[in-house]
Amino acid sequence: MIEVKNPKTEQEWESYYDLRYRILREPLRKERGSERNDGDENGIHFALYENDQLIAVARLDAVDQTTCQARFVAVESNLQGKGYGKEIMTELENKAERLGYNKLILHARDYALPFYEKLGYTLVGPSYKLFDILQHFEMYKELTHGE
Ligand SMILES: CC(C)(COP(=O)(O)OP(=O)(O)OC[C@H]1O[C@@H](n2cnc3c(N)ncnc32)[C@H](O)[C@@H]1OP(=O)(O)O)[C@@H](O)C(=O)NCCC(=O)NCCS
């Protein structure tokens, strides 16, 4: 059974940040703790479980009243390419629509560009370099509210 929810227990939060760390920070040789930031307090957290195993994570942040941003999207390394990334992004987009946002933006790593293009995101152009090494690209998607 697949379930996407907000982590609640201490164990669930630990696994949530651990997955984020292993997928998004460890390959860049960053220390534990670097996977968290101030936005974790106000962001909306998504954790995808299959049969109670954590498989994917994502965070939704407000940018302003009409725009929101997806951040820290990660799928367990041996389970990538099986549709879980799409599944958690769909949940995140649905939530963003329900909250009334019109636009969802994100900053994608180069190797994730085809994934987001497939999900209907438009490339704006290069944005920032994470830790001065990893080029990111700004992308956006208009939220249609079922139109
Ligand atoms: C990028 C990431 C989130 C994608 O999640 P995923 O579960 O591997 O992707 P999915 O299996 O859901 O793919 C969804 C669709 O995108 C396509 N896709 C995914 N990666 C692709 C790629 N590199 N090139 C072309 N198509 C790709 C899939 O073929 C699939 O298409 P389909 O719907 O026609 O079958 C995941 O691979 C990941 O965590 N990567 C490492 C961390 C990362 O880069 N996070 C994003 C930071 S910006």
Q: What pLDDT does 147 receive?
A: 63
Do 71 and 59 touch, CB atoms closer than 8 A? Answer: yes
Query: Which residue out of 115, 121, 134 has the highest number of ligand 1 atoms within 8 Å of its CB and is therefore the one to mutate?
Result: 115
- Ligand 1 atom at shortest distance from the alpha carbon of 136: 48
- Give distance in angstroms: CA of 62 to centre of ligand 1: 24
**Distance between CA atoms of residues 44 and 136, nearest Å:** 22
- Cβ-in-10-Å burial (0-12, 13-18, 19+) of 67 comes to middle
Class at the top of the CATH hierarchy for domain 2-142: alpha beta
Query: Which residue out of 111, 118, 130, 140 has the highest number of ligand 1 atoms within 8 Å of its CB and is therefore the one to mutate?
Result: 118
Per-10-residue mean pLDDT of the chain, 147 residues long, equals: 96 98 96 97 98 97 98 98 98 97 97 97 92 90 83
Q: What pLDDT does 146 receive?
A: 66
Q: How far is CA 20 from CA 11, 35, 99, 105, 108, in A?
A: 14, 6, 25, 19, 15
- Ligand 1 atom at shortest distance from the alpha carbon of 81: 11
Residue nearest to atom 5 of ligand 1 (CA): 85
Q: What pLDDT does 132 receive?
A: 80
